[in-house]
Amino acid sequence: MAMRIRTKQQPAQILSKGRLNLWAILFFFAITCLSSLWEGSGMGLFAQGVAINPTGASPDNSAIFDVNSTTKGNLFPRMTTAQRDAIASPANGLIIYNIDCNNFNYYNGSAWIPINSVGGSAPATPGAITGNTIVCVNATGEAYSISIVSGATAYTWIVPAGATVATGQGTTAITVDYGSTAGNVCVTASNNCGTSAASCTAITINTAPAAPTATVATGITSTAFDANWTASGGATTYYLDVATDAGFTAFISGYNNNNVGNVTTHTITTTLTCGTTYYYRVRASNACATSANSNTITQATASTPSTPTATAATGITSSAFTANWTSVSGATSYRLDVSTVNTFSSYVSGYNNKNVGGVTSSSVTGLACGTTYYYRVRAVNSCATSGNSNTITVNTTGGLIDFSGCPAGQKCCEPGFCGSGCAICIPIASVCP
């Protein structure tokens, strides 16, 4: 059986706090113990909840507290924003009426949220945050900013764990000192009415790349080689050392911390000494830091240049031709032999081991017409001379009998050779000796 209390309307009375508490205790004790004896409109206590109404109706089944009136309203606690914020450990869902903003606020477990914007509201969410999103580990003084938010009186910035807001907290621009942990930089705008949603940007922490692995050299000649290594994640360039000692105290020219770019192979451009041992190592680097040294590779240059390949002669005339051959890496000059015998047991004058310089072709002159010649070549550097190349055979032009060249009315008695004309001319009627 529902318990109901019917009370008569009486003039309002103002009681002191102590008397109010006493009367409240007595009032609810009376409700609990005596309401079953009273009937009529007023407040009812029911198994499913509490109802306050002028008819004595039961509360709605879904309500623990049901107030119904067409002549009066309900007053929530009214206070300023400062008073609201002074509430210790507010419960999730606590409601107050903010007299600074003229709207209801509720606590969502972490912040006070305005229920509506009538009479004042929290600022809008700040716009995009400008600033570096990829920063170095332990970077300092990284700057971030937002545009001013209309109606905001303060700004609150939050940074990743291990980072600190060094300057500007509470404003639209800050600087951040980072640790080693990535995360988000976020900012909210606030005023007396509340706090906006957060605007955030993700931050990546960039660390030094791992040390690369140096691999064996390639393209080895008597004066050069290619240094090689593996790629390191996050590297934007590499630094190469080349020395003549394993302790890297004697660097070759240009290769003490040489920035070779974002590559994994590099030809040593400084002319090396043939038959010499060299050492190289490499480091990976990016905008944040440089890695430790790689392992060391030991590489000796070749002591003897490779043998060149002689190629076909060009520009052949009755008295000359141009000898040709391929270039040999590391060669500083070439030696040319020219002979009329393929065993090179004798030589054309001036062409026995002739130093023709660091070229790949040379003119051979002063030759006989209609004659077969042979040539070969060797590569030379400061260490040694290569073996002989293959042999090229060349035939100079000419060699046919020439009956031309006698004046009119004369005949040739002794023809010349190789286009030289007639050697002996006599009158046509005469007999050749």
Output the domain CATH number for residue 315. 2.60.40.10
Average of per-residue pLDDT across 44-60: 79
Please tell me the least confidently modeled range out of 116-125, 240-249, 298-307: 116-125
Residue 124 falls within a domain, yes or no?
A: no
Based on the domain organization, do 390 and 327 belong to the same domain? Answer: yes
In the numeric block, the tokens 């060094």 are attached to 166
Q: How far apart are CA 112 and CA 110, in angstroms?
A: 7
Identify the pLDDT of residue 352. 97
Provide the domain count of the chain: 6
- Per DSSP, 26 falls in state H
Q: Which stretch of 108-117, 130-139, 294-303, 319-328 has the lowest confidence by average pLDDT?
A: 108-117
Q: Is residue 384 located within the same domain as residue 405?
A: no
Q: In what order do the strands lie in the sheet with 112-114?
A: 78-79, 95-98, 103-107, 112-114
Q: Which amino acid is at 28?
A: F
Task: Give CA–CA dist 58/399, Å, rounded.
Answer: 139
pLDDT of amino acid 110: 87
129: in domain: no
Share of the chain above pLDDT 70, in %: 85
- Which own/partner pairs from 10-16 qualify as long-range (CB within 8 Å, at least 24 positions apart)? none
Among 206, 230, 260, which residue terminates a domain? Answer: 206
Same domain assignment for residues 159 and 182: yes
Residue 229: what pLDDT?
Answer: 98
For residue 127, being part of any structural domain is answered with no
404 and 388 share one domain: no
Residue 276 near residue 244, CB atoms below 8 Å: yes
Residue 42, in any domain of the structure = yes
Last residue of a domain, one of 254, 279, 300: 300
For 223-237, the pLDDT digits (tens) are 899 999 999 998 999
Does pLDDT of 167 surpass 60? Answer: yes
Indicate if 296 and 318 belong to the same structural domain. no
State how far the alpha carbon of 402 is from the alpha carbons of 99, 239, 305, 397, 414, in Å.
Answer: 129, 72, 48, 14, 9
Beta pairing class for 199-206 and 134-136 = parallel
Average of per-residue pLDDT across 347-376: 96
Q: State yes or no: pLDDT of 373 exceeds 80.
A: yes
pTM for the whole thing?
0.50
Measured CA to CA, the distance from residue 381 to residue 221 in angstroms comes to: 11
Please check whether residues 287 and 254 belong to one and the same domain: yes
- Check residue 147 and give its pLDDT: 97
Residues 271 and 287 in one domain: yes
On whether both 219 and 296 belong to a single domain, the answer is: yes
Query: Are 296 and 344 members of one domain?
Result: no
Euclidean distance between CA atoms 143 and 199, whole angstroms: 16
* Lowest mean pLDDT, pick from 323-337, 385-399, 411-425: 411-425
Distance CA 95, CA 107 (A): 7
Angstrom distance (rounded) from CA 217 to CA 299: 7
Selected residue with higher pLDDT from 381 and 256? 256
Question: What CATH number is given to the structural domain containing 170?
Answer: 2.60.40
Which residue in 384, 335, 389 sits closest to 362, CA to CA? 335
Domain-embedded: residue 22: yes
Domain that holds residue 283: 214-300
Instruction: Report if residue 120 sits inside a domain.
Output: no
In a domain, 37, yes or no: yes
Looking at 206, 228, 248, the residue that finishes a domain is 206
Q: Check: CB of residue 377 under 8 Å from CB of residue 334.
A: yes
Residue 128 maps to a domain: no
Residues 152 and 218 in one domain: no
Least confident of 13-17, 241-245, 280-284: 13-17
pLDDT tens digit string along 136-156? 999 999 999 999 999 899 999
Residue 371 or residue 192, greater confidence = 371
Residues 410 and 389 placed together within one structural domain of the fold: no
User: How is residue 381 annotated by DSSP?
Assistant: -
